[in-house]
Chains A and B, each alone.
Chain A
Amino acid sequence: DAGITQSPRHKVTETGTPVTLRCHQTENHRYMYWYRQDPGHGLRLIHYSYGVKDTDKGEVSDGYSVSRSKTEDFLLTLESATSSQTSVYFCAISVGGTNEKLFFGSGTQLSVL
């Protein structure tokens, strides 16, 4: 157990509304990641963070923003949700660097209607 908690676990929202997903970790890991998982695609990286206030874009970052004001919390925000952002979102941490093994939270199922 890597001490990662995601909230909420499920959310249904309407197109155009803002949504924030939270990832909380208890073990002071430096590297944190947000992925989305969709049928027919592998997990795709949205954004990641090297540390407090140090974030960067992944391969599918359009429409998403992140913030990391504390080591333990990594927030993913959909500024104006669209139906194409309906997905399962996973937060992850890695120990040691961006090419090291990942440990995932339980995921958030987001439905945008």
Chain B
Amino acid sequence: RKEVEQDPGPFNVPEGATVAFNCTYSNSASQSFFWYRQDCRKEPKLLMSVYSSGNEDGRFTAQLNRASQYISLLIRDSKLSDSATYLCVVNSPLADKLIFGTGTRLQVFP
């Protein structure tokens, strides 16, 4: 089992839609969780950290479910500019490093 798994998508949604991605992780001792956004041929950019109680940043909401070992990202009122690949990142306590998922591709259409 991969340490961090994501549905590769693509998720094709119309503008204004709400879309959610999940990411599962294998190590129950993981403590740090992030969502990154990566545009085509660009570097990943931090979208948001994920906190235990859940957190929101504008149209973006991140949740952590420790019991089921997954994190989620919810995007409300999707914009064309949200089209990108969303990377889930979780720390590996054993290796003391961050592990990246392969990403979920989102395509928002008019």
Contact = CB atoms under 8 A, between A and B. Distances in A.
Main secondary structure of the interface of B (DSSP, over half): strand
Contact of A42 (B4, B46, B96): B4
Contacts, number: 48
B44 A90 contact: yes
Contacts of B31: 99
Interface in A51-84: 58-59
B97 A103 contact: no
Interface of A: 35, 40-45, 48, 58-59, 90, 98-107
Question: How many B residues touch the partner, as a band?
Answer: 20 to 34
Interface string B9-45: 0000000000000000000000110100000001111
Nearest to B49: A101
Interface of B: 4, 31-32, 34, 42-46, 49, 87, 89, 91, 95-103
Contacts of A107: 42-43
Nearest to B88: A42
Contact of B97 (A98, A104, A105, A106): A98
Given A99-B91, A103-B46, A106-B42, A42 B97 contact: no
A43 B44 contact: yes
A105 to B, nearest CB: 6
Contacts of B95: 59
Nearest to A104: B43
B102 A40 contact: yes
A57 to B, nearest CB: 11
B96 A101 contact: no
Contacts of A106: 42-43
B97 A58 contact: yes
